Structure 1
Amino acid sequence: MEISVCSFSFHRLLAAGKQDMFQYIQDSKKLGCTHLEPWNAHLANIDQGQDVLHAGSNPQQSHHLTAMDDDYLDRVKAAADEAGLPFGCIAVDGAHIYEQEIEARERNRAKAYRWISIAERLGASHIRIDSGGPEAPDDQAFEVIAKGYEDVIQRAHDSGVKVVVENHWGPTRFPDQLVKLLEAVPKLKLLLDSWNWAPGKQAEGWLKCAKYAEATHIKTFHFTDEGQELTQNIPAFIKLLKSNGFHGIWGVESVPADGDEIEGARRTIELIQRFG
């Protein structure tokens, strides 16, 4: 079974200066992960911990997540190689496709190109780039999003990287909007998050979108003493993905209410292994 912990699971440790990218690699190794799937804040030049917390809570306002230089990235790749952990999906905030102003779109596109080059440098298999845009885009906004994805998909393909969209924010929190986008851009793949749906849309999202999933974020918040997740039915989510032929990396994105991020990741991994 292939398992990763998206490094967003450790965003509070990162903000507090208690973890960096190199410690994330070591923590992933200790937790028994088979792959690394960093959130791009772990690969960015962060001046203040508050910047991490802001980015984590406001992915649509994460333009300050500027990547470190190539020398740093090469050291990260060397550390990952030494740990025996290849890179799966890099989750990128701050490079989304849609902005109302053309200049803002162009700035985001340049950021997307840069993160694609980073994914290639690290040997990552996938990169998550958000759609951005209003929750119910009109035809013009939808066309901008679809054409934007076609552009970054071609750039990523030339680098040997696949682009995934996540049900994250904006229109992709609504199952019908997400399916419409995936059908319009067949080469676009899905990073399916168990939790990130508009209110009342989770069950519909699971059922309509499981067949498209190529990567996952399994969210957890509260555990019982017996190791069950109280917020949602994770065993049912795992069963649904398996019945739809999912064979990718089981990605953890734990957000423990008690603040113990290492323990939250560990318990989520144990839950996945029990039912996966």
Structure 2
Amino acid sequence: MLTDRRQFFAASAASAALAVSAGASARGADAPKPRPIRIGVSTYSFWQFKNNKLRDVEACIDLAGETGFDAVEVLHRQMTDESPAAMQKIKRRAFLNGMGLCGFSIHQGFVFKDKEERQKNVEHTIKCLEMCYAMGIPTMRVNTGRWGTIKSFDDLMKNRGVEPNLPGVGDDEGFKWVTDALTACLKTAEKCGVVMGLENHWGLGRTPEGVLKIVDAVGSPWLRVTLDTGNFLEDPYDKLEKMAPKAVLVQAKTYFGGGLWYTLELDNDRIARMLRKHKYTGFVSLEFEGKEDPLTGVPKSLEVLRKAFAV
């Protein structure tokens, strides 16, 4: 009888193992497709620093919801009220539109000879991290800053984003300033649960090598990359791919009506394939930089991005 019981339990275990194996095989054959990448929109796409009727952040959130976006990225400079009540209204407005807030884009820089000026920008960055926490925003775009030796941004764009260093300052010193400044922000980023994303955005961040040098030197999970598809003006694809493994947010440029400063013929299908290869599953946030009315250019852009990033 004991032998029969042992044989029974052994046979049962073998049958169970076969069932589990068969079930796993079946699930593998019918595995769900990866979900499409979600598409957000920066409030900048509506305002563009010039469309005053479209500056109100809450109004932009409503437009984003009506257009069919999944999320909104808030441009800090677009906010006219930074009070706690105003920030909670922004969070509430996104919720009522069935959307999240996928990013906060700020302007700061750390390439100043004056140590006090650098510290002022550190404090500004820390304040903005705390604003992200208040609004429930998980990532914040940061910059290296630019040298400022070409005063006009229009002139900088005419020069393809290239400007001379500050007199007597080499790149190595500039990289140290930026690395030290961002390192000083890490404790707040961790406390607030906000990942800073260093963007390829002129200055020492004009090249993928520059961005990655800083990110690697800081060496923290709270500093990664915000990847902007429109800020490499020549041969963008290999450069974007170098940064893709560390991207936490992708900002996708479109230029309907011609670009405000320049126009790039970006292959969004190619960019989407590259991001899938690197298993990017975060948000793609539209930054519309065309001269066309945003009320028509933004919906067109969403259609382009939906098609490119669909699975």
Instruction: Tell me whether 1:114 sits opposite 2:127 in the alignment.
Output: yes
For residue 184 of structure 1, what is the aligned residue in structure 2?
217
Shift of 1:14: 6.2
Q: Given that residues 175 and 204 in structure 1 are in contact (C-alpha distance below 8 angstroms), is that contact kept between their aligned partners in structure 2?
A: no
Q: Percent identity?
A: 20
Deviation by residue 1:217-238 (Cα, 9 ceiling, x = unmatched): 11011379xxxx9722121111
Q: Which consecutive unaligned segments of at least 5 residues does structure 2 have?
A: 1-36, 148-162
For residue 30 of structure 1, what is the aligned residue in structure 2?
66
Give the Cα–Cα distance (whole angstroms) in 2 for the partners of residues 107 and 256 of structure 1: 33
Correspondence for 1:69 among 83, 88, 109: 83
Correspondence for 1:146 among 171, 174, 179: 179
For residue 220 of structure 1, what is the aligned residue in structure 2?
254
Shift of 1:13: 7.7
Correspondence for 1:41 among 77, 85, 105: 77
Shift of 1:133: 4.6
Q: Given that residues 92 and 128 in structure 1 are in contact (C-alpha distance below 8 angstroms), is that contact kept between their aligned partners in structure 2?
A: yes
For residue 196 of structure 1, what is the aligned residue in structure 2?
231
For residue 209 of structure 1, what is the aligned residue in structure 2?
243
Scaled by the length of structure 1, the TM-score of the pair is 0.82
Instruction: Tell me whether 1:275 sits opposite 2:288 in the alignment.
Output: no
Amino acid at match of 1:71: A
Shift of 1:247: 0.5
SS in 1 for 2:286: strand
Give the Cα–Cα distance (whole angstroms) in 2 for the partners of residues 145 and 273 of structure 1: 36
Correspondence for 1:79 among 86, 93, 100: 93
For residue 239 of structure 1, what is the aligned residue in structure 2?
273
- What are the within-5 Å matches in structure 2 for residues 239-258 of structure 1? 239-258=273-292
Amino acid at match of 1:98: V
Give the Cα–Cα distance (whole angstroms) in 2 for the partners of residues 32 and 140 of structure 1: 45
Equivalenced residue count is: 247
Runs of 4+ aligned structure 1 residues displaced above 3 Å come to 12-15, 133-137
Give the Cα–Cα distance (whole angstroms) in 2 for the partners of residues 96 and 69 of structure 1: 24
Deviation by residue 1:138-176 (Cα, 9 ceiling, x = unmatched): 322211211211221221110111111111121111122
SS in 1 for 2:73: coil
Amino acid at match of 1:170: G
Give the Cα–Cα distance (whole angstroms) in 1 for the partners of residues 201 and 49 of structure 2: 22
Give the Cα–Cα distance (whole angstroms) in 1 for the partners of residues 51 and 121 of structure 2: 24
Q: Given that residues 90 and 126 in structure 1 are in contact (C-alpha distance below 8 angstroms), is that contact kept between their aligned partners in structure 2?
A: yes
Instruction: Tell me whether 1:89 sits opposite 2:111 in the alignment.
Output: no
Q: 1:222 to 1:75 in 2, by over 3 A?
A: closer
Scaled by the length of structure 2, the TM-score of the pair is 0.73
Q: Given that residues 190 and 214 in structure 1 are in contact (C-alpha distance below 8 angstroms), is that contact kept between their aligned partners in structure 2?
A: yes
Larger CA deviation: 10-19 vs 249-258 = 10-19
Amino acid at match of 1:192: L
Give the Cα–Cα distance (whole angstroms) in 1 for the partners of residues 86 and 214 of structure 2: 35
Give the Cα–Cα distance (whole angstroms) in 1 for the partners of residues 142 and 48 of structure 2: 22
Q: Which consecutive unaligned segments of at least 5 residues does structure 1 have?
A: 46-67
Give the Cα–Cα distance (whole angstroms) in 1 for the partners of residues 69 and 296 of structure 2: 14
Q: Given that residues 41 and 287 in structure 2 are in contact (C-alpha distance below 8 angstroms), is that contact kept between their aligned partners in structure 1?
A: yes
Shift of 1:97: 3.1
Q: 1:84 to 1:207 in 2, by over 3 A?
A: closer
Instruction: Tell me whether 1:129 sits opposite 2:163 in the alignment.
Output: no
